[in-house]
């Protein structure tokens, strides 16, 4: 049930002591070895060899994605390149790419943390695990791969894509755990249906999904259609990759690996901590990374603490599934709208498939959302009246959830493109 019980179930007081020692070590390491941090500490008058308490974290500078870009490629590494055994990089679709590095110890630690997540979700050495994340510069494939091997599961390193083959292999190799983005899992469901394969006839038991936001409704959908227990796992390349946080079998919030990461949830405007349970931006400091330690990284991901202790026995705090990113937020007539809210509503409506797009346009200086949603063919080809009823139901439910009206357009089943990696469901036509 646990991979490293001595850590995962550590009494909180002991954990705080360990965190402080590790934080002191990390701050000293970056102060001595990374010019970027040395300069920042100097400017801010921080005596980096003399951190006294965990509370001192508040005084440390933030790190932004832009800092990684400015120091491209190796400027933030805290060890010489000869100690780096692996590099990963973000795709760079939204600007200059960023590069992260791992020492031998970092890879060990990363493997352990991913093994924790897999183990927490229920996967054991007896499982056959199909890793359908891309292998390459993206951290998903290799991150999960090393963790799964560390756990001792039988790994199928198939990578993303070639969905028919994925399903053939899933059937022939008797895959019990599927690892990919929730979007890709949905595409697999489609391809199975087309091929007349009943997912319940496969050996699948677990789905470990992550790398993008998804709703509780999407989880239900995947659980039902694939006959699995789907769990959420979270991470980001700037911090490590997958393995930062993951759900246990309770499937209610993600335990963050607090012995390796110090987290804060801050109001993104004031940068003050929010009250426990309130939504804010997740900010993470690495505690044990050697090659690429990061101080107070502004993830832009929004979440909240689940303050109740978890029945699984882990003492690490649980984060609510990510609600979106600060930079994904749409402001429509002054109302803040997150794509995930729209997905949640659509998943509750019978007759809609969980495939949608959110189109954002600007007309007469006003932003406007159109939600395109696939509906089952029997509705799409039914009388006009039934279609209108459907549109009205969706509009009403969306307006009540979002607090602002949106247009709705129904489309035929299978008309919207499917994704093999991270889904891109928002199409922003505004020239901002």
Contacts of 150 (CB under 8 A, 6+ apart): 111, 112, 114, 115
**Residue of closest CB approach to ligand DLL:** 210
Q: How far apart are CA 256 and CA 16, in angstroms?
A: 14
Rg (CA), the chain: 22
Give, in order, the Cα–Cα distances in Å from 418 to each of 130, 162, 188.
20, 13, 9
Going through 329-425 in order, the beta strands assigned E by DSSP cover 330-332, 335-337, 352-363, 366-375, 407-411
Q: Which is nearer to ligand DLL, 10 or 106 (CB)?
A: 106
CA distance 407 to 369: 6
Shortest distance, position 425 Cβ to ligand DLL, whole Å = 13
Residue in 375, 378, 384 with CA at minimum distance from that of residue 414: 375
Reduce the secondary structure of 267-305 to three states and give it as a string: CCCCCCECCCCCCEEEEEEECCCCCCCCCCEEEEEEECE
d(CA 150, CA 182): 24
Q: What is the closest distance, in whole angstroms, from the C-beta atom of residue 397 to ligand DLL in the complex?
A: 23
**Given the complex with ligand DLL, which of 140 and 280 has the nearer CB atom?**
140
Q: Closest CB to ligand DLL among 153 and 410? A: 153
Encoding tokens for residue 236? 């980001």
Tell me how far, at minimum, the Cβ of 246 lies from ligand DLL, in Å: 8
Cβ 111 to ligand DLL shortest distance, Å: 14
Residue 238 Cβ vs ligand DLL, minimum distance, rounded to whole Å: 6
Burial of 270 (0-12, 13-18, 19+ CB in 10 A): exposed
> Of the two residues 27 and 283, which places its CB atom closer to ligand DLL in the complex?
283
Q: Is 46 or 321 the residue whose CB approaches ligand DLL more closely?
A: 321
For 59, the token pair is: 């005084």
Cβ closer to ligand DLL: 8 or 247?
Answer: 247
Question: Which CB, 31 or 423, lies closer to ligand DLL?
Answer: 423
Instruction: Give the N- to C-terminal CA distance of the chain in Å, as an integer.
Output: 49
- Of the pair 89, 370, the CB lying nearest ligand DLL is at 89
Find out whether 184 and 132 touch, Cβ atoms under 8 Å: yes
Q: What is the smallest separation between the CB atom of 211 and ligand DLL, expressed in angstroms? A: 4
Q: What is the closest distance, in whole angstroms, from the C-beta atom of residue 38 to ligand DLL in the complex?
A: 26
Q: How far is the CB of 284 from ligand DLL (least distance, A)?
A: 10
To the nearest whole angstrom, how small is the minimum distance from the Cβ of residue 338 to ligand DLL?
A: 11
Q: Cβ closer to ligand DLL: 176 or 233?
A: 233
By beta-carbon proximity to ligand DLL, the closer residue of 41 and 133 is 133
How wide is the angle at C-alpha 110 spanned by C-alphas 109 and 114, nearest 5°? 120
Q: Which two tokens stand for residue 420?
A: 């093999």
Q: How far apart are CA 35 and CA 237, in angstroms?
A: 21
Chain position carrying tokens 């400027």: 75
Placement of tokens 């009540």 in the chain: 400
Q: Which residues bind ligand DLL (CB under 6 A)?
A: 90, 133, 138-140, 143, 210-213, 232-237, 241-242, 299, 301, 322, 325
The answer to whether 257 touches 244, Cβ cutoff 8 Å, is yes
Distance CA 240, CA 305 (A): 21
Measured from the CB atom, the residue of 83 and 212 that comes closer to ligand DLL is 212
H or E element in which residue 115 lies: helix 104-121
């Amino acid at each position: 049930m646990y991979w490293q019980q001595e850590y995962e179930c550590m009494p909180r007081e002991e954990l705080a002591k360990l965190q402080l020692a590790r934080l002191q070590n990390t701050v000293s390491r970056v102060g001595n070895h990374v010019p970027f941090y040395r300069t920042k500490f100097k400017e801010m008058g921080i005596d980096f060899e003399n951190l006294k308490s965990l509370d001192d974290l508040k005084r440390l500078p933030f790190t932004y994605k832009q800092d990684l870009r400015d120091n491209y490629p190796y400027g933030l590494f805290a060890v010489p390149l000869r100690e780096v055994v692996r590099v990963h990089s973000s795709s760079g679709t939204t600007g200059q790419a960023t590069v992260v590095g791992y020492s031998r110890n970092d890879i060990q630690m990363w493997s352990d943390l991913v093994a924790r997540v897999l183990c927490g979700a229920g996967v054991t050495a007896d499982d056959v695990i199909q890793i359908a994340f891309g292998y390459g510069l993206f951290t998903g494939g290799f991150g999960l791969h090393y963790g799964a091997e560390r756990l001792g599961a039988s790994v199928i390193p198939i990578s993303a894509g070639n969905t028919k083959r994925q399903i053939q292999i899933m059937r022939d190799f008797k895959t019990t755990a599927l690892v990919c983005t929730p979007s890709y899992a949905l595409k697999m469901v489609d391809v199975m249906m087309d091929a007349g394969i009943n997912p319940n006839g496969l050996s699948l038991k677990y789905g470990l999904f992550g790398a993008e936001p998804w709703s509780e409704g999407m989880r239900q959908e995947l659980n039902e259609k694939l006959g699995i227990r789907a769990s959420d796992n979270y991470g980001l390349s700037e911090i490590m990759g997958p393995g930062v946080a993951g759900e246990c079998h309770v499937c209610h919030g993600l335990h963050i690996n607090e012995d390796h990461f110090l987290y804060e949830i801050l109001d993104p405007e004031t940068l003050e901590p929010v009250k426990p349970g309130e939504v804010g931006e997740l900010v993470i400091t690495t505690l044990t990374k050697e090659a690429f330690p990061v101080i107070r990284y502004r993830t832009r991901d929004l979440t909240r603490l689940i303050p109740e202790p978890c029945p699984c026995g882990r003492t690490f705090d649980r984060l609510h599934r990510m609600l979106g990113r600060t930079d994904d937020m749409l402001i429509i007539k002054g109302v803040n709208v997150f794509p995930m809210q729209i997905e949640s509503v659509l998943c509750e409506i019978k007759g809609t498939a969980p495939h949608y797009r959110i189109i954002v346009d600007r007309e007469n200086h006003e932003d406007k959302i159109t939600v395109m949603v696939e509906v089952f063919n029997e509705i799409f080809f039914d009388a006009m009246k039934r279609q209108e009823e459907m549109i009205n139901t969706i509009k009403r439910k969306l307006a009540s959830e979002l607090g602002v009206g949106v247009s709705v357009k129904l489309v035929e089943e299978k008309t919207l493109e499917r994704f093999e990696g991270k889904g891109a469901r928002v199409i922003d036509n505004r020239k901002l």
